[in-house]
Structure 1
Amino acid sequence: MTTPWTPGGDGSDDKRHAPATLRNRDVIAAVLADWLPPSGVVLEVASGSGEHAAHFAAAFPQFDWQPSDPDPAALTSIAAWSGEAGLANVAPPLALDAASPEWPLTRAEAILCINMVHISPWEATLGLFVGAARLLPPGAPLILYGPYVEADGPTAESNLAFDASLRARNPAWGLRDTASVKAAAADAGLAFAERRAMPANNLMLLFRRS
C-alpha cells in the first residue's frame, strides 16, 4: 500500500498516493484534450505524487511529459510512478520551485499546474506566471486546476472549511480569488482565456501567453 501524499510529508514508500487523483484525473484529461496544443513538451509544475503525470502521459502519447516538484519526496514518488508505467514519453522529474527566478528548462509548449496555487505561498503563483511567460511561445497555454474563490458567486461550504484548514496549517496557504489570479497573470503577460467548472467545486482556468 502506498503512503498518502502530503506536501513535505514523510514515509518509507517511494510511491505516494493522492486519493483525489483517482477522482479527478479523467475529468481533467477531458479538458486537456480541448486546451492542449497538438504536440510538444508539457511541463507539469508541482506534480506531487506523480500519479497525474503517469496517467496523462499515457492518455496523450503525442506529448513529451515533463513532471517537476520542489519536494525531494515528490521527486522520488514521481520517478517511481513513471518507472512503473514504463512510458517513453515521461521525462525524469525536475527539481523546480515555481517561486524561483531560475527554472531548469527553457521552453515548453504547454504548462499544467494542478492543486498548487492554494497549497503554497502566493509567491509561488506569481513565480509560476513569470516562469510561464518566459518559457511559453505566444499563444501557448498555462492551465490551472483547483479550488478558488469567486467574487461573483457563493463559495461552497466545503471549500470554506478547506480554506480554514489550509490556513491553520500554514498562514501563507489558502484558496485564492480568481480576480487576483487573473490580475497577476495579466501582469506577467498571460491573458485569461477560459474557465471550466469541475466536479467537487473545483475550476480549471486557461491562460495564454500574450
Structure 2
Amino acid sequence: MQTIDPVTPPPTGGLASPAVARNTGPILDVLRAHLPARGRLLEVAAGSGEHAVAFAAALPGLDWTPSDPSAEARASIAAWARAVGPSNLRPPLALDVMDEATWPIDAVEALVCINMIHISPWGATEGLIRLAGRVLVRPGGLLVLYGPYREADRPLAASNEAFDQSLKSRDPAWGLRDRDAVVAAAKVEGLALTARREMPANNIMLLFRRVS
C-alpha cells in the first residue's frame, strides 16, 4: 500500500498539512468499517490531497474523486497524485458547494467531507447536504463528516471553545456547528444519522445513510 510519509517533503506544487499525519489513521479505520468495498466516492473540500491519495491507496476498490473550489488545492491534489497516487484516484473536480452549477450529476455510493464545515459559512454546510441529497441516490448511500461540533448532550472541550473563538475572530461566519442542526438539515434530504464516532483531538465523525 502506498502512503504518505509525514517526514517526506511534499512534491513540487504539493501542499502539506500537519493535521493529516495525525488523523489519517483514525479516519481510515472508520472508513474501512463503513464504506462499501467497491463503488464511486466523492470527496468534498479535499484540500492538499494528502487524505485523498492515502485513502484511495488503502481502499483500492473505490473509485475516489477528490474536489476543491481552490485552484491551489486542486494543483496540490494533482501533484500528490502524480507522486504517490494510486490508479483509482481520479483528477480533482472544481466543485464548490455554494455553486450548484459546479456539482456533478453522477450518482456515488459515498461522499466524504473532512474539516470543512467549521471553516466555512453555514450556507456551505447547507450546500454540502443538498449535494449529498443529489448524488447519494441509492438506499444506504453514505455521507461521512469529520470535524469538531457543538453537541447539546456533551460538554464542549475547552480546546474546542478556544478554537471556535479563533475561527470567529478570523471570519464571523465561521465556527463550530451544532450537530443537531446538521442532522436536521440531512433529514430534509432523506439522510439519517446512523453513527457517531469519537476521534482524536476532540473531533467526531458523523455517518449518515440514505433512507428515503
Shared fold (TM-score, shorter chain, > 0.5)? yes
- Could you give the per-residue CA deviations for residues 54-85 of structure 1, whole angstroms, max 9, x where no partner exists? 00011001111100000111000011111111
Contact 1:37 / 1:140 at 8 angstroms: preserved in 2?
Answer: no
- TM-score by length of structure 1 reads 0.92
| AA of the residue aligned to 2:111 | I
Q: 1:79 is matched with which residue?
A: 78
Other structure's SS at 1:16 match = coil
Q: Which residue of 2 aligns with 1:10?
A: none
Q: What whole-Å deviation, never above 9, does each CA across 1:92-132 have from its counterpart, x for those lacking one?
A: 00000112223034211100000011011111111111111
Q: Which residue of 1 aligns with 2:113?
A: 113
Residues 138-179 of structure 1 deviation map (CA, whole Å, 9 limit, x = unaligned): 211000000111111111111011111111111111000111
The one-letter code sitting in structure 1 at the alignment partner of 2:86 is L
Mark the CA change 1:48 to 1:86 in structure 2 (over 3 Å): closer, same or farther: closer
CA-CA distance at 1:202 after TM superposition: 0.4
Q: Secondary structure at the match of 2:100?
A: coil
Larger displacement relative to structure 2 (79-88 or 194-203):
79-88
Alignment of 1:96-175 (within 5 A): 96-102=95-101, 103-136=103-136, 137-175=138-176
Q: Do the aligned partners of 1:148 and 1:178 also contact (CA within 8 Å) in 2?
A: yes
Between the aligned partners of 1:132 and 1:14, the Cα distance in structure 2 is 30
Give the superposition deviation at 1:195. 0.3
1:134 match: secondary structure: helix
Q: 4+ residue runs of structure 1 moved beyond 4 angstroms?
A: none
| Cα distance change of structure 1 residues 105 and 91 upon mapping to structure 2, 3 Å threshold | farther
Give the partner amino acid of 2:57.
A
Q: Aligned residues, how many? A: 201
Please give the alpha-carbon distance, in whole angstroms, between the structure 2 residues aligned to 1:171 and 1:178: 19
What's the TM-score once normalised by structure 2's chain length? 0.91
Distance apart, 1:2 and its partner CA:
4.6
Q: Is 1:23 matched up with 2:22?
A: yes
Answer yes or no: is the 8 Å Cα contact 2:195–2:207 preserved in 1.
Answer: yes
Q: 1: CA distance between counterparts of 2:139 and 2:98?
A: 22
Within 1, Cα distance between the matches of 2:30 and 2:146? 10
